[in-house]
Amino acid sequence: MITQHNIQLQPYNSFKTKAVARLFSEPANAEELSEILNRFPEEKKLILGAGYNLFFTEDFDGLVIRPAMKGIYLIWENDREVELEAGAAEDWDHLVEWTVKNGYAGLENLSLIPGSVGASPVQNIGAYGREVSECITLVNTVDVQSGERKSFTTDQCDFSYRDSIFKQNRDQVITSVRFRLEKSYTYLEKYVDLSRELNSNTNPTLSQVREAIIRIRTRKLPDPEKLPNAGSFFKNPILTSKEKESLVSLLPDLPLYTTGGNRFKTSAAYLIEKAGYKGMRRGLVGVYDQHALIIVNHGTDSGSEIAAFVKEVQQEVFRQYGVMLEPEVWIF
């Protein structure tokens, strides 16, 4: 297994910040991964997917592991369902496209989310009322400390909104993920945006739903290849009913969604916009003018510059509204 030295990570993160990894390795299977982990037990480790949800503020004095396991395999099927396993390095949207083409329902609402299959359980990716955890049956990993292979059933993954055991503990390298999908499909009208894009077609096919989502996302979100970004930068805050009441007294139009347990989700984008940051630019960093949740890089290669701007947005939203926004994006 080849280990490279002093590798520039700029091409490996969608914010395009510069940082050098002292050691870098791309294991093609679980055996190679265990071997590399056993060879460097003392090194600090960082696991890298396709780099759409992270950026670097400094060089990494340790070992960057970029899993390279490929392949989409059929595990079993019956008349109603199919179970597939995909390697960590498979492109997420390629997997979604493949499932839609084959008529397998479950992942279509997650069309065009950039990234790798291996990262999908980490923050339990979600969009258009669907979370990937709803389709995952098993996550296969290699333990960073012991180099041992492990498998996590859905219950063991501790999935919640943009969260999982893998995000909390960061001690497993995901090598492959299993998904159970349906062979029939019924569209559920959950999102006004999506239904409008479908021209009120109440019985769309999987492909029609995928294409509609691709059109909406392409219009709404900046392309990281043209304007470097990492998608939604902050999680939507969850408020207690007391927090909700005091915020509504300042912002009567505050969007609110019940999440159970007398908690309320609100919109981070709305708070950033109200704080006056939508479209704001500070040097070479800014908030996207079409969508306040997206921090964009107008040309810096310094992750510290981006991190300083992120802190400013957090502090200003906190000063004005008493809510500390929590980044969804990893800052290394």
150, β-bridge pairs: 141
Q: Is 162 a catalytic residue?
A: yes
Q: Which is nearer to ligand FAD, 79 or 225 (CB)?
A: 225
Which of the following is catalytic: 22, 39, 149, 162?
A: 162
Contact residue for ligand FAD among 27, 115, 204, 237 (CB under 6 A): 115
Which of the following is catalytic: 83, 97, 131, 328?
A: 328
47, β-bridge pairs: 65
Smallest gap from Cβ 206 to ligand FAD, in A, equals 18
Contact region with ligand FAD (CB under 6 A), list: 56-64, 113-121, 149-157, 183-191: 113-121
Q: Is residue 88 a contact residue for ligand FAD (CB under 6 A)?
A: yes
Residues between 238 and 267 with contacts to ligand FAD, criterion CB under 6 A: none
Contact region with ligand FAD (CB under 6 A), list: 25-33, 119-127, 256-264, 277-285: 119-127
Identity of residue 308: A
Q: Is 39 a catalytic residue?
A: no
CA 327 to CA 223: how far, in whole Å? 20
Contact residue for ligand FAD among 30, 84, 100, 122 (CB under 6 A): 122
Q: Is 319 a catalytic residue?
A: no
Phi then psi for residue 148, to 5 deg, are: -85, 150
Q: Which is nearer to ligand FAD, 40 or 330 (CB)?
A: 330
Q: Is residue 96 a contact residue for ligand FAD (CB under 6 A)?
A: no
Q: How many secondary structure helices (H) and strands (E) does the chain include?
A: 8, 20
Q: Is residue 327 a contact residue for ligand FAD (CB under 6 A)?
A: no
Could you give the string, one character per residue 192-231, with x where binding to ligand FAD holds by CB under 6 A and - elsewhere? -----------------------------x--x----xxx
Q: How many residues bind ligand FAD (CB under 6 A)?
A: 32
CA 85 to CA 71: how far, in whole Å? 8
Q: Is residue 176 a contact residue for ligand FAD (CB under 6 A)?
A: no
Pairing of strands 294-297, 229-232: antiparallel
Q: Which is nearer to ligand FAD, 95 or 247 (CB)?
A: 95
The sign of the CA dihedral 150, 27, 22, 53 is negative
Smallest gap from Cβ 322 to ligand FAD, in A, equals 26
CA 23 to CA 40: how far, in whole Å? 10
CA 63 to CA 161: how far, in whole Å? 29
Q: Is residue 164 a contact residue for ligand FAD (CB under 6 A)?
A: no
**DSSP state for residue 220 in the 8-state scheme:** H
From residue 90, how far is each of 65, 122, 155, 262 by CA, in Å?
15, 15, 24, 39
Helices 206-220, 92-101: axis angle to 10 degrees equals 150
Q: Is residue 268 a contact residue for ligand FAD (CB under 6 A)?
A: no
Q: Are 63 and 5 in contact (CB under 8 A)?
A: no
Q: Are 63 and 9 in contact (CB under 8 A)?
A: no
Q: Which is nearer to ligand FAD, 51 or 286 (CB)?
A: 51
CA 167 to CA 186: how far, in whole Å? 32
From the list 231, 235, 163, the residue with the least C-alpha distance to 14 is 231
Instruction: Give the residue numbers annotated as catalytic, written as ranges.
Output: 162, 232, 328
**Residues binding ligand FAD (CB under 6 A):** 14, 47-54, 67, 88, 113-116, 118-120, 122-123, 125-127, 166, 173-174, 221, 224, 229-231, 330
